[in-house]
Structure 1
């Protein structure tokens, strides 16, 4: 059934039916209820195009991914975030437009989305230090929210982030409480804001324990299993290997464990490991007892919350610029234990 047929059955104009289904206040409560009941009875769902014409909105949210970051498409963290955001979009009658673009064309794509009114807003992924996308989106007037933060950006902008600095400071303190002093950090790419904040938390904890910051125990790179493996293999082969490793990704932590076991060592006994766990749907950190001690925060829930923030901003542009800082929970698993006794 289409809108014309539904309107004819109700004896109402198509404009009235459309306005009733889209929540316009000038339609009486009794008429709106009558239209909604009929739409359910006839299993009628207005097309996105029709709703867009009725509301003046695109009813779509954009996610623009530069080619240099296309690995995010197969990253389970990105997948869980998109799933969470998608739940919120669907619940509110919005669609998602995902664009993979050449890095040099990213600003042109944002301009095109704005000019063609293809989307009502966009989500900015993977913010870097002083990220240029934030002032650019301000300039063209396209509503946006940032998944994370961009240190050095002084313009107001909407964001949702995990307290990465606090999480890694707490994780490092936890390892010190277990007697560890040689604590390594296997981080993400440190031009990414989250990795910069995690390193700051780690270094702050070392300094608070009067421990010298040893750059030989610090690595940063793409958070893959292989990266975690090679970094750990290299550090464990040194003259003064770490007794504990703090890792920025559960995926990298799997490589850390592989390198530990390859040397005939036992994770949690010979080398302790703490990682960050995004509570992923398809890569879970054990069952009732976590495999890895981890700072945990659900990236799927972050997707839901960030989408809600953006849709609220689109609905009422006069709202104060929203932001939300989530605290990670430290979950103790079997990957940590007291520091080995010195010979």
Structure 2
């Protein structure tokens, strides 16, 4: 029976793994650090030896060689209130976590709500504490992703970049088509006075959903009236306030496309409090197909975007960039209309 401990009788060492595998210490080190510069036979022998000896890599020592932290950041650029109220974020996070759970990679969750938090995260990331970052819910032309890229940290965005000439890799849902489907459903249901409640228009997702709504109306030879477009903030209260504003118009809407489910639920509450009914008086379509849609009364017709898949694809793309297996790429995921009781 072979001695499975280190020469000093303590925990197994890299030397004991190399000896058991019949390779040099350098070869064993390359295998255990993830280097591709080893033969398949040597790789298998070292992995078998490490498993037999219950050898655990010293990550601190490994990071000095590989310059890798084995951590990636999941960054949400929103307030904590918005983060914990919107079911979109945990769904995307769940998908990202599932994607990296088998990769021996730590997912670092970061919330950035202020300029000082943005700067603190930049210093943290640039200091070598993460190998890459995926960004969710950026507003405007946020410089942070490109600052990280300039210091060699790969970045992936949820949603297209704010600037059309920016080449940051991204994963997005087909917001334009989804908004067109929502608008077409309202038109097909007989609505003649359509309105939309948008998200913040410093966000590409909100811009694209507004464009889809406008394009469908234009192609249907319907007037796109500015007074029927209200910008809001993706929150339930925001949808409630925006719907109240629309109901005060001279010609109140009989159909509303809200750019996410939270605002749609808020809009439905405003309709009820005005003494009207959904869908009899006002038909409503949301976007996301989150758990809120099925919990609403009546159940909400909504555009489904694959939120978990969004997180999963972002994580896969980021890991490919970190490992040097990809350069620039963007992924577009499909959307579909789920018809329920509000349209």
TM-score (norm 1): 0.83
Q: CA deviation at 1:147?
A: 0.8
More displaced, 216-225 or 228-237?
228-237
Distance 1:177 1:107, change over 3 A: same
Q: Is the 8 A contact 1:159 1:306 kept in 2?
A: yes
Partner of residue 243, structure 2: 232
Q: Is the 8 A contact 1:265 1:271 kept in 2?
A: yes
Q: CA deviation at 1:160?
A: 0.9
Counterpart check, 1:208 vs 2:240:
no
Q: CA deviation at 1:50?
A: 4.8
Q: Is the 8 A contact 2:74 2:134 kept in 1?
A: yes
- Which of 287, 290, 293 pairs up with 2:301? 293
- Which of 87, 98, 112 pairs up with 1:76? 87
Partner of residue 266, structure 2: 255
Unmatched runs of 5 consecutive residues or more in structure 2: none
Structure 2: distance between partners of 1:10 and 1:152: 51
Partner of residue 19, structure 1: 30
Q: Is the 8 A contact 1:6 1:39 kept in 2?
A: no
Counterpart check, 1:169 vs 2:180:
yes
Counterpart check, 1:148 vs 2:153:
no
More displaced, 46-55 or 84-93?
46-55
1:3-23 deviations in Å (ceiling 9; x for gaps): 941653773476554433444
- Which of 238, 247, 256 pairs up with 1:245? 256
Partner of residue 208, structure 2: 197
Partner of residue 320, structure 2: 312
Structure 1: distance between partners of 2:164 and 2:136: 15
Count of residue correspondences = 329
Report 1:1-343 matches (<5 A). Answer: 4-5=11-12, 8=16, 11-12=19-20, 16-40=27-51, 45-46=56-57, 48-66=59-77, 69-74=79-84, 75-101=86-112, 103-105=114-116, 108-109=119-120, 111-277=122-288, 279-280=289-290, 283=291, 285-286=293-294, 291-316=299-324, 319-336=326-343
Partner of residue 339, structure 1: none
Q: Is the 8 A contact 1:84 1:304 kept in 2?
A: yes
Partner of residue 341, structure 1: none
Q: CA deviation at 1:51?
A: 4.5
More displaced, 191-200 or 228-237?
228-237
Q: CA deviation at 1:311?
A: 0.8
Q: Is the 8 A contact 1:72 1:78 kept in 2?
A: no
User: SS at the partner of 1:304?
Assistant: helix
Structure 2: distance between partners of 1:145 and 1:188: 22
TM-score (norm 2): 0.83
